[in-house]
Each structure stands twice: as C-alpha cells, then as structure tokens.
Amino acid sequence: MFRSILTRTKSVSWRDVTKHLDRCYADTPEPEPDLKRKCFLLNLVFFVVTVTVALFVGGQLRDLRFDRSRSGSSYFGDKISDGDVYDYIVVGAGAAGSAVAARLALAGRRVLLIEAGGDPNLLTKIPAAAVTLAASSLDWYYDTIPNNKSCLSSQGKRCRFSRGRCLGGSTSINYMMYTRGNRQDYDFNLTGWTWKDIEPYFLRYEGLSNLNRLPKSSAAYHNTSGVVSIDFFQDSSNPWHERLIDGLKSLNFPYNPDVNAKSQIGVSRILGFTRGGERVSTANTYLEMEIVKRKLRIAKNTQCTGVIIDENNIARGVTVHRGANKTLRLYVKHEVVLSAGSIGTAQLLMLSGVGPKDHLEEFGIPVKSDLSVGDDMSDHVLPLVNIKVDHDHRPMSDLTILGSKSLEILQWLITRSGPMSSNSLTDITAFLNTKCYNYTLRRLVNNKPECELPTMQFIYAYMKKGVISLAPSVYYSNIPHAKESFQQISDENSKSAFIVVSSVVLQPKSRGWLRLASSDPLTPPAITPNYLADERDVEEMVRGIKIIENMVDTPLYKKYNASIQRTKIADCPGVDEDGYWSCYARHMTHSVQHAVGTAALGRVVDERLRVKGIKNLRVGDGSVLPHLPRGNTAAAIIAIGERLSDFLIQDQGLE
Ligand SMILES: Cc1cc2nc3c(=O)[nH]c(=O)nc-3n(C[C@H](O)[C@H](O)[C@H](O)COP(=O)(O)OP(=O)(O)OC[C@H]3O[C@@H](n4cnc5c(N)ncnc54)[C@H](O)[C@@H]3O)c2cc1C
Ligand SMILES: *[C@@H]1O[C@H](CO)[C@@H](O)[C@H](O)[C@H]1NC(C)=O
Ligand SMILES: *[C@@H]1O[C@H](CO)[C@@H](O)[C@H](O)[C@H]1NC(C)=O
Ligand SMILES: *[C@@H]1O[C@H](CO)[C@@H](O)[C@H](O)[C@H]1NC(C)=O
Ligand SMILES: *[C@@H]1O[C@H](CO)[C@@H](O)[C@H](O)[C@H]1NC(C)=O
Ligand SMILES: *[C@@H]1O[C@H](CO)[C@@H](O)[C@H](O)[C@H]1NC(C)=O
Ligand SMILES: *[C@@H]1O[C@H](CO)[C@@H](O)[C@H](O)[C@H]1NC(C)=O
C-alpha cells in the first residue's frame, strides 16, 4: 500500500496530488471507509516527505536568513566601543527607525542604528507564520494593567500587547496589511502637517508590483519603484474568500478595488507588505540596500538605556546596555533620534528626564523638560466574533490537520505560494461609517458627505476546524483567553471552522497611558491601555456586531448554515438577552497592536519632531501621531521616518 501510493505520487502532477488531498478535507458527511484509510496514509506519507524535504532544504534555508553583510552579521552586529562618536544615532530599527537611519546613511552621514533585538528569524519570512511570532523571542509581549472594563475574558483581565523586538521592529512580526487611512487623519492642526505635506513620503518608499491589477485611476496614488515592496497577497485558499466579499455586497457595500486611492469605503482585497510570497519588513528592504549595507553601522542585541543630556539641555549621545554587564556611552556630533516605538520611546524619554515632573521625581530622576510624555495613548480595539461555518461532525484527526499544514509548508518552501504566503488572516477588509448603515433596511446607505470617513474596519480571518486544539499554545499567545472562554471556543472549533471577524473601532474615544514601573531601564514600563473606558467605544462595537449579524442572515451565509458563536459568559446577560453584546465586547476585547500618541506632535515634539525643551533630540515613530489613522499604522509610521530624515538633513548645521 505504502509503496503503491509512493509510486502513484511520483507519476502524478503536484496539482493532482493536492486535488486528491483536498477530497480528504472536503466536507463529506459520510466518507467511504476506503477514502478514510487512503487519506490517513497519504497524510502520513506527506508528513514524512515534508519533514525529510524540510531537513534537506535546511542548507538552503540559511541563505534565507536575514543577512546584512559579513561584518554586520555577528550577534552584536557592527563593532562599537565606549566613547564612539557618530553624526547621528538612531534608537530602534523598526518601521520608522530603519527608514530614518537608511536615508541618513544614503545621504552620506555617519549613522549608528541601535536595536534591542537581533536578526528576524526564518519564520518572519513566511507570511502565514505571523501567528507563531506572538509571545516569541521576537516579541516584547508587554504586560498590561487591567482597567476592569475591557479584555475581561482574558487571563488576569490583561490585554495582549505585542511589539516587535528585532531588526524591522513590529514590521517583522505584524500582519503586513498596507493601508494608509484617510487623508483627513493627517490634519494635525499644526504648521506643515496636512495630507498634502505627508503624501510625498508615502510615495517615496512605495514599490508597488501589479499596478495593472488596480484601476487606471489608481496610478496617481502609487509608486512602483520605491524601496518597500507592496503587492497583493496570494490566494489564501479558503472556501470563504469570495463569499466574504459577496456577503458584504449583499448589504450594499460597494466593492472598492483600492482603499488607498480616492475613497476608503467598501470591501476590498487589500495590498500587503509582501514580495514573491515572502514578508517584507523595513529590515529586509531599507537595511538591505547596497549602500546602506556598506555605510550604516548597526548595533544589534543592544538596548538603549537613556539619552545623555548635558546641563544646557543638549542631547550629546546615549547609554546602551549590551551583553551581560556591559554599559557603553556613545556620542553624536549632530543629533539623537528616538524611534523605539510608542512604548520604547516614551520609556526612554522619561528615563532621561523628559516627562511629567511629579512622576519623574517619584523615581528620583532629575527633570530636564516637564512634558506630558506617556499620556493620551490611543489604540485600535475590536471585539472578536467567531462565525461558525463548514460544520462537520466527523472529527478531524490531528494527523489530518498536521498533514495538510505540512503540505502547505512544503508548497511554500518549494514555490513560495499557497496558503502560507497569505498573511494568516485573509486579504479581505472593509471600511464603513456605521452611522451610514441603515439597520432597518440592512444596507450601507452612504448618503452624507461624512460617510466617506469610516468609523470601522472589518478584518476577516479563516480558522480551520480543529486548529485550536491542535496548537492551543499558539492560539493562547494570540488570544490569551481564560479557561472558561477558551474551552467553549475550542469545543466549537472542533466541530466547525470559524470566520473570525474583527470589527475594529477606528477612532476610539478612550485613551490609555504609560508610566515608568522602575528607574531600571531593563524593567518594562507600566502600560495601561484603558480600552473601552469611554462607553461610546462599546456602542460602536455593538453597531459593528449588529452588521455582522445581518451579514450572517443573508441568503448566502444561510445557505452554508453559518451562525455566530455566542459564548456563554458568567458575568453577562444570557446570549439572547439585551445587553449581551455590549457585555460580550467588554469581555472579548482585543487590540490591533497599533498604539500611538505617547510623545505626540504638538504636545511633546514640535512640528520638526524636535523634543520640546531639549536640543538635538528628535522622535520619529508611532509615538508622535496625535491620533490614529483610520487604518493600519505601519504605512504611516514609515512615512514619518522618511520625513524625519529630510528634517534632519535640512536642519543640519542650523542647530
Ligand atoms: C502583532 C501585530 C500586528 C500588526 N499588524 C499590522 C498590519 O497588518 N498592518 C500595519 O500597518 N500595521 C500593523 N501593526 C502595527 C505596526 O507594525 C506598528 O504600528 C509599527 O511597526 C510601529 O512602528 P514604530 O517604528 O513606531 O515601532 P516598531 O516598529 O515597533 O519599532 C520599534 C523598534 O525599537 C526597538 N526598541 C524599543 N526599545 C528599545 C531600546 N530601549 N533600545 C533599542 N531598541 C529599542 C524595538 O525592538 C523595535 O525594533 C501590527 C503590529 C503588531 C505588533
Ligand atoms: C479592578 O479590580 C481589581 C479587583 O477587584 C481591583 O484590585 C483594581 O483596583 C481594579 N482596577 C481598577 C482600575 O479599577
Ligand atoms: C488648532 O490649534 C489652535 C492653535 O493652537 C487652537 O487654538 C485650536 O483650538 C486648534 N483647533 C482644533 C480643532 O483643535
Ligand atoms: C518613486 O520611487 C523612486 C525610487 O525610490 C523615487 O525616486 C521617486 O521619487 C518615487 N516617486 C515619487 C512620486 O515619490
Ligand atoms: C554580571 O554581574 C553580576 C553581578 O554583578 C555577576 O554575578 C555576573 O557574573 C556578571 N556577569 C558577567 C558575564 O560578567
Ligand atoms: C432607514 O430607512 C428607512 C426606510 O427608508 C427610513 O425610514 C429610516 O429613517 C432610515 N433610518 C435611518 C437611521 O436612516
Ligand atoms: C444545513 O443544515 C441543514 C439542516 O440541519 C442540512 O440539511 C443541510 O445539509 C446543511 N447544509 C450545509 C451546507 O451544511
């Protein structure tokens, strides 16, 4: 039997094999016993083949690893010594930091880029492996302080809070969705900060492939030759891909081929930070440019512990912690740039004496500039809603699921295509203003000018049947639910696949904050996301869930017996009672990991991104955005980094 299958697989094409395997996973209520046995064996064979091939390909995998240059590829990167002087020091090699440092290096400046983490690993290359990166060594995975109003079903009522810790920062571990938000989001009521001012920086780095798949009218909104590759994700090959679009269309959502062009509204297949089936990060783009590889110094696995600010309030350099007990002082001729992200930058500012006076004094930190650092943090939040689909009471064996996963990985390794080249969610997203949806007519009406300003983004994921019980720890790292909810959800998933809908509140009213937990720079700061403190955010979530209910009620979804999973929650009204959904939203709260605003333009930095009251110190990252864009944040934050490099070059010598 074993041999006959092997010979058969040799003589048939790849497509035939996958087709045959597909039959094994098809929802046949009563599979013939013969097929069942064949499937089992096929899976076994594929599992063995995959492992063998994976080991064999191991040699080639080494080439795949992020590899800047011979000199910079060691654990600590380029050699640095106590007392070194650079033109500029950039702290944090994330979305913005990699862009600033690379542009300065390209302009001939002597730049040191300091990153707390190391190289991104192989898994970061595989788009669909993003789910495995949560809580990994590449994730800061900060603890958060509960507010008793959100994330109530999560373990300890603490909301998950991930941030990338490696070259590329969060762009090495995120979901790669490329959206710019709305033009109006960039009106910061500050000289030089309107869409018109920032648009050139979005275009400067964009390297869009397949412009021909967008309407002609889109051309003016894109660049095809920038350094950061943008492309469509390949087929996520889930049976609901087209249905998700059709379901929204039947609620009168227009199909919008390009949410980054004139209008954001409607359902779309979005673009991603991807190229040739692999992840694109700011590390494998900016930091891999030939000139950058030669000129930019990078210190990896090196954590900045503070900015050296002299008695005249001029930034002179930074202190870093590297290896077991090593502390170095590094200096700048021109300026220090903090790009350590909304959490890292705010913490470093406070440690260096820039922050709320009373708070710094509590920790005995001499105050250099009394500013509201850490305040007014905002983040995109959502209630996770599972739609049960593809029910099939035939239990699917772990081996079967493992077999299909192995096959997908094998396909990716060989061809860089297939499900592993999709971002592990789906590429379908929709933007709408919930005030422009008529709940009586069950239609998006879009009958007022303000309807062009979305209040909500729907993001969809497809979760195969049985995957939660197969990899509970992966699920838990992403969605750290306490036992009661976890058990119910896992049980349902053993019977049905899920469409997981995130109805993201795009302009949350609640604000969180960040404070030091200790004056020790190696102790993470105290983060209070404070989601859903403002009741209006819950109301918006419930408006979103009502639309999901309408969607599941359309003939298309009905045809497939789709239904929303109503998890029983001890502290909530019954699943069919009033108030269930708002209570549900407070329990099933999750963040999109977009927090911004902790060193906002206007409050902490001026319109040239200079820290108020300190000379030669600037901030360029998510912390400067006074509020969230109506979309995913990476695109905007890279643009901030691009712009800061211009500021630095233009202002050099003026300081
Ligand atoms: C799980 C997840 C999914 C996401 N999905 C998407 C998505 O699909 N689309 C999208 O557009 N956005 C997404 N985002 C958000 C987006 O990636 C971030 O908003 C963006 O990367 C933030 O950029 P940044 O430059 O501010 O910080 P980061 O990119 O986080 O970079 C900060 C860097 O500074 C380093 N650092 C911090 N402290 C120090 C220190 N003391 N010394 C030295 N280095 C330090 C960090 O290690 C990190 O490398 C996601 C984020 C996460 C976490
Ligand atoms: C939340 O509840 C816990 C336990 O009841 C309490 O100790 C804590 O102070 C509360 N937190 C807030 C922000 O109200
Ligand atoms: C814009 O800024 C000006 C000057 O700082 C201020 O007076 C005004 O209230 C601001 N407008 C808005 C809408 O915030
Ligand atoms: C597009 O990218 C190229 C290459 O980086 C750049 O030279 C050009 O200025 C960009 N175009 C626009 C409109 O920004
Ligand atoms: C670091 O310092 C600690 C305490 O001072 C000491 O126990 C440890 O051995 C040192 N480690 C190294 C590698 O020097
Ligand atoms: C929804 O449509 C109905 C029928 O046209 C109309 O009577 C009602 O006012 C609309 N509701 C809203 C909130 O626009
Ligand atoms: C949906 O449920 C009905 C009744 O339980 C059943 O007859 C039908 O086959 C199901 N359809 C699908 C697509 O699962």
Q: Is 153 domain-assigned?
A: yes
Q: Is the CB of 223 under 6 A from ligand 4?
A: yes
Q: What type of residue sits at position 415?
A: T
Q: Is the CB of 325 under 6 A from ligand 5?
A: yes
C-alpha 18 to ligand 1 mean position (Å): 37
Indicate the number of domains in the chain.
Answer: 1
Give the ligand with the smallest distance to the CA of 352: 1
Sign of the torsion formed by the C-alpha atoms of 251, 242, 257 and 265 = positive
Report the residue among 144, 145, 147, 148 best suited for mutation to probe ligand 2: largest number of ligand atoms under 8 A from its CB.
Answer: 148
Tell me how far apart the alpha carbons of residues 456 and 335 are, in angstroms, rounded to a whole number. 39
Assess whether pLDDT exceeds 70 at residue 20: no
Strand pairing of 369-370 and 526-528? unpaired
CB 181 within 8 A of CB 195: no
Give the ligand with the smallest distance to the CA of 149: 2
Q: Where are the alpha helices (DSSP H) in 471-593?
A: 472-478, 483-493, 535-552, 555-559, 580-587
Q: Is the CB of 273 under 6 A from ligand 1?
A: no
pLDDT classification of 57: cutoffs 50, 70, 90: low
Tell me how far apart the alpha carbons of residues 254 and 310 are, in angstroms, rounded to a whole number. 57
Q: Is the CB of 323 under 6 A from ligand 5?
A: no
Q: Is the CB of 349 under 6 A from ligand 1?
A: no
Classify residue 14 by burial, with Cβ atoms within 10 Å: 0-12, 13-18, 19+.
exposed
> Quick one: average pLDDT of 172-185?
97
Q: Is 289 domain-assigned?
A: no
pLDDT tens column, 92-146: 999 999 999 999 999 999 999 999 999 999 999 999 999 999 999 999 999 999 9
Q: Is the CB of 438 under 6 A from ligand 7?
A: no
Per-residue tokens: 454: 């979305």
- For 473, the domain range is 1-56+147-161+236-270+380-513+529-592
pLDDT classification of 395: cutoffs 50, 70, 90: low
Q: Is the CB of 173 under 6 A from ligand 1?
A: yes
How many angstroms separate the first and last alpha carbons of the chain? 78
Give the ligand with the smallest distance to the CA of 156: 2
Got the DSSP string for 221-238? G--SSSSEEEEEPPP---
**Which residues sit with their C-beta closer than 6 Å to ligand 2?**
146-148
pLDDT tens column, 494-548: 999 999 999 999 999 999 999 999 999 999 999 999 999 999 999 999 999 999 9
Q: Is 142 domain-assigned?
A: no
What is the atom index within ligand 2 of the atom nearest the CA of 148? Answer: 1
Residue nearest to ligand 7 atom 2, measured at CA? 561
pLDDT classification of 406: cutoffs 50, 70, 90: confident
Residue nearest to ligand 7 atom 10, measured at CA? 561
Q: Is 492 domain-assigned?
A: yes
Give the ligand with the smallest distance to the CA of 443: 6
> Quick one: average pLDDT of 328-340?
98
Q: Is 384 domain-assigned?
A: yes
Measured N-to-C along each axis, helices 634-651 and 95-106 cross at an angle, to the nearest 10 degrees, of: 30
Q: Is 583 domain-assigned?
A: yes
CA-nearest of 79, 88, 154 to 485 is 154
Assess whether pLDDT exceeds 70 at residue 291: yes
> Tokens 């809580």 correspond to what residue?
135
> Quick one: average pLDDT of 615-625?
98
Q: What is the pLDDT of residue 72?
A: 58
3-class DSSP state of 613: coil
Tell me how far apart the alpha carbons of residues 304 and 116 are, in angstroms, rounded to a whole number. 7
> Quick one: average pLDDT of 158-187?
97
**Which residues sit with their C-beta closer than 6 Å to ligand 6?**
438, 440-441
Residue nearest to ligand 4 atom 5, measured at CA? 226
pLDDT tens column, 209-259: 999 999 999 999 999 999 999 999 986 668 899 999 999 999 999 999 999
Q: Is 481 domain-assigned?
A: yes
What is the atom index within ligand 1 of the atom nearest the CA of 139? Answer: 53
> Quick one: average pLDDT of 422-446?
95
C-alpha 560 to ligand 7 mean position (Å): 7
> Quick one: average pLDDT of 440-462?
96
Residue nearest to ligand 7 atom 3, measured at CA? 561
CATH number, domain at 573?
3.30.410.40
C-alpha 447 to ligand 6 mean position (Å): 11
Stronger pLDDT, 50 or 298, i.e. the higher one: 298
> Quick one: average pLDDT of 617-642?
98
Q: What is the pLDDT of residue 9?
A: 45
622 labeled part of a ligand binding site? yes
Q: What is the pLDDT of residue 31?
A: 54
pTM for this model (two decimals): 0.92
pLDDT classification of 400: cutoffs 50, 70, 90: confident
Stronger pLDDT, 390 or 332, i.e. the higher one: 332
Q: Is the CB of 326 under 6 A from ligand 5?
A: no
Q: What is the pLDDT of residue 394?
A: 62
Q: What is the pLDDT of residue 2?
A: 45
Q: Tell me which of 40-54, 270-284, 413-427, 491-505 is least confident.
A: 40-54
pLDDT tens column, 540-589: 999 999 999 999 999 999 999 999 999 999 999 999 999 999 999 999 99
Q: Which long-range contacts (CB under 8 A, 24 or more apart) does 652-655 make?
A: 652/334, 655/334, 655/335, 655/615, 655/616
In sequence order, the β-bridge partners of residue 527 are 514
Assess whether pLDDT exceeds 80 at residue 66: no
Q: Is 535 domain-assigned?
A: yes
